[in-house]
Amino acid sequence: MNGEHAAMRAKTRAKLPGWTPFEWQVIGEGAGILLTGGVSRTLKSGPRKGKPTWDPPHEQVFVSAAEIIAFERRYERKTGKCAMCDGTGQVWAGYKVGEGHRYRPCSRKGCEGGTLAVTA
């Protein structure tokens, strides 16, 4: 399951126009992802100037694992790219203070540098 794909699904369902997620929460050991978001605006002053902020109201949208899998299947059929790594060949492996985000090569079977050699 890819959080970006969940966000793309959730955007089509959120009631707030211009809804953007800022929090992802995995529910029920992989049953789906609950996204919290709102309408973002750019801060004009202060120490976080230029960064986005989300004023209330916030809206939560739940995207089930089955929906994300269906979305990823369609993406792969359409683009021929691996949905697990978004066609980059690298997947996110965690975050460590001082080191930043870490990535590892995509372990999806048939994925060669992000392109699917064999499509299921």
- Listed as own residue / partner, the contacts of 114-118 with beta carbons closer than 8 Å and 24 or more positions apart are 114/81, 114/82, 114/85, 114/86, 114/87, 114/88, 114/89, 115/80, 115/81, 115/82, 115/87, 116/76, 116/80, 116/81, 116/82
Only segment of 25-33, 55-63, 67-75, 102-110 that touches Zn ion (CB under 5 A):
102-110
Size of the site for Zn ion (CB under 5 A): 6
Residue 82 binds to Zn ion (criterion: CB under 5 A): yes
Applying CB under 5 A, among 22, 58, 85, 109 the residue interacting with Zn ion is 85
Only segment of 2-10, 18-26, 37-45, 80-88 that touches Zn ion (CB under 5 A):
80-88
CA–CA distance, 38 with 23 (Å, rounded to integer): 10
Applying CB under 5 A, among 11, 74, 111, 119 the residue interacting with Zn ion is 111
Which positions touch Zn ion (CB under 5 A)?
82, 84-85, 106, 108, 111
